[in-house]
Amino acid sequence: MTKTDDKPEILTAVPELIALALAVRRDWVANDVQAALVDAKVHGQTWPQALVGLVRLVVDPQARPAELVPAPLDPQRPGPRVVGDPQRHAAALAAAKQACADGAAALKAAEKTGDIP
């Protein structure tokens, strides 16, 4: 770190993450976890994304390591399984849509009054 950079360096810790996943999920196999992390890297996930994604999977009793990178959607199959509380996700989506609508209304009002530079 330099004097102007006060952010700590984020280091990859693949062996430690695999060990943690296996300690928490005794039903998982090291090769499957490692393959999932390699697949995530191949598909462009950053280390923080893979780290958080794998930890989310570890705490889901129905999840498998291969779900770290979602499969492409097939129109003949149902969509991906939602991890977590679907109602909470629906409420967050509704709030995001309302915020977008409010922002659009504010932008239109500003255009009418000429407050936009």
Q: What is the token pair recorded at 80?
A: 């991906």
Q: Check: pTM over 0.75? Answer yes or no.
A: no
Give the list of residues 6+ apart from residue 20 with CB closer than 8 angstroms, or none.
Answer: 58
- Sort residue 40 into left (φ over 0), alpha (ψ -120 to 50) or beta: alpha
pLDDT by 10s per residue, the chain, length 117: 455 667 888 889 999 999 999 999 999 999 999 999 999 999 999 999 999 999 999 999 999 999 998 877 666 665 555 555 566 667 777 777 787 777 777 777 777 777 665
